[in-house]
Structure 1
Amino acid sequence: MRATTFVALRTAQSLLGLPGGVTVLDVTVTDPYAAEIVAQRITSDTGVQADSWIKTNAQFFTAVNAQQSSNTVIRAFVALSVAMGIASVLVVSVVQRSREIGILRAMGVTRAQVLRLFLIQGGLLGLGGAIVGCALGAGSLLAWQTLVRNADGTALFPINLSPMLFVVTLALATLTGLAAAFAPALRAARLDPVEAIGG
């Protein structure tokens, strides 16, 4: 079992028989991922051996990097599946409403207006889904933080719900919806009114 005791420097020097000396100095850096660069600079400037947490905890650092890579891959696949879902919904919508689109085109609605209509629909689908997802995610996190506590009643770990994270998520979801809607919208805009009305 390991224990840590905090005492004054002179007391520790006296206890360990190191008058005027120290064995280890810990340095805190602003950017934890720059620790290895700082350690190399200390070694080159002073000649003192400096080991970063990255070097001493190589396995942990590798695991953190692997987790970040897997998170990126998961996000990419989620974005792709969302885009495919929106595109499939709009393709079905174009097929089901082709007669209505043909009537609108025969009444003078331009291709640009039809294109814009489906792009807006795709963007709104992405935005609406993101709003629901953000609300469910934030609500679940807050409920979990309220229900799961340490033995002393404090939170297991702090949860920081940054407003900017929600803004970026909503913007990306809307852009994904617009991108996914482009092909179905183009198909709808290119429908021939005569063929669409005739079925």
Structure 2
Amino acid sequence: MVGAAPFVLSQVSVARTGTDGLYPQSANLYGISIDTGQVAPTEMERQIVEGSYNLTLPESGLPPLLMGVGLADRMQLFEGDTLLVVSFENLKMDILGGLNPTMRQFEVTGVFTTGMYDYDMQNVYTTLGAAQELVGITNPGVVGGVGVRTRQPELADEVRGKIQESLGFPFYAESWMTTNRALFSALRLEKIAMGLILGLIVLVAAFNIVSTLVMVVADRTREIGILKAMGMTRRGIMRVFVLQGAWIGVAGTMVGTACGLISAFLIGHFEIIRIPPDVYFVDHLPVSLNPLDVLGIVVASVTIAFVATIYPAWKASRLEPVDAIRHE
């Protein structure tokens, strides 16, 4: 764990002030503390595309607000615009006995993009104090939770378990893995399906190697007979065709791996393939290279190519010299 910061989370409704044509939008309001004196608990500072990450009070005196680029585009909001935030957690009774939600104006001081549709469409951020006041928390020491950042994202679930064990009931700890458990389950199934498809493609390539070597054996039958008549052993004949097939497999694997790595780098770095964010949750095709996956695919491809050479090589080694020389 390298960073931690308190936060307040509330379901709110946001609406652009001064316009009647835009309907209110629901959003998740996070009250956060940026200056914790430690490593920043989020990467949001790098994700700002308009305005600044600094949640200081603007000249208007209104509380500052950071919002996702998707929500800002939908509501046609820019840096310096004001919007109305409505909270239904802090209901106040009027003189007639009715309950009214708490409303407060905020000023947009920054717009961020995470590349994930749901986050950019639903999340807004303000100062911890402004969020506490909006939802009716009068004690500054009371918060909704504490966000924790680990040195490696993969350790989040392990850290979550330790925190949960340490705090116990009624506290509840969750990680980005548990929050998106359904998504990761779907991705694991998709990875298995892609592995099966890749395996079938490699098998097709292996059959091509087999057919190529069988044709070579049929075409070079006389030459094989001459070599055997000159004293070349069956093992030597078999070695020739195994090496030829293995060379085809290794060369094809190396060329394919190089092309795949270059393509993956270009697609991931330049975000070449754009996809509908409202369908796939992200606006571009993300690429993640796992060295172990690449190594496993290379080894499996070369092994299958090598195994595919055994039958044609064995068939060539079984040819009798006399029959092979007389072959037309």
In which range does the TM-score fall when normalised by the shorter chain? 0.7 to 0.9
Structure 1 residues 140-149 or 90-99, which shifts more? 140-149
CA distance in 1, matches of 2:307, 2:325: 28
Which structure's CA Rg is the greater one?
A: 2
Specify which of 285, 302, 311 is matched with residue 174 of structure 1. 302
Partner of 1:153: none
Partner of 2:197: 74
CA distance in 2, matches of 1:54, 1:163: 22
Partner of 2:242: 119
Task: Determine whether 1:92 maps to 2:220.
Answer: no
Cα deviations by residue, 1:82-141 (Å, 9 ceiling, x for unpaired): 211111111111122112111110011111111110111011101221233234334545
Structure 2 residue identity aligned to 1:131 = M
CA distance in 1, matches of 2:209, 2:323: 26
Unaligned runs of 5+ in 2: 1-24, 37-126, 275-283
Equivalences for residues 39-54 of structure 1 within 5 A: 39-47=160-168, 48-54=171-177
Unaligned runs of 5+ in 1: 151-155
Structure 1 residue identity aligned to 2:240 = L
Q: 1:21 to 1:198 in 2, by over 3 A?
A: same
Specify which of 125, 128, 144 is matched with residue 23 of structure 1. 144
CA distance in 1, matches of 2:293, 2:179: 33
What is the DSSP-based 3-state SS (H/G/I as helix, E as strand, rest coil) of the residue aligned with 1:50? coil
Q: 1:168 to 1:158 in 2, by over 3 A?
A: same
Structure 1 residue identity aligned to 2:128 = A
Cα deviations by residue, 1:1-60 (Å, 9 ceiling, x for unpaired): 54666544796257513422321222334353x644543443233203112333322321
Q: 1:37 to 1:164 in 2, by over 3 A?
A: closer
TM-score computed with the length of structure 1 as normaliser: 0.76
| Number of equivalent positions | 193
Higher relative contact order by CA 8 Å / sep ≥ 6: 1 or 2?
1
Partner of 2:49: none
Contact 2:271 2:285 in 1 (8 A): no
CA distance in 1, matches of 2:263, 2:222: 43
Task: Determine whether 1:63 maps to 2:195.
Answer: no
Structure 2 residue identity aligned to 1:45 = S
Contact 1:13 1:20 in 2 (8 A): no
Q: 1:83 to 1:28 in 2, by over 3 A?
A: farther
TM-score computed with the length of structure 2 as normaliser: 0.49
| Percent of residue pairs identical | 31
Structure 1 residue identity aligned to 2:317 = A
Equivalences for residues 86-165 of structure 1 within 5 A: 86-141=209-264, 148=272
Partner of 2:313: 185
Partner of 2:128: 12
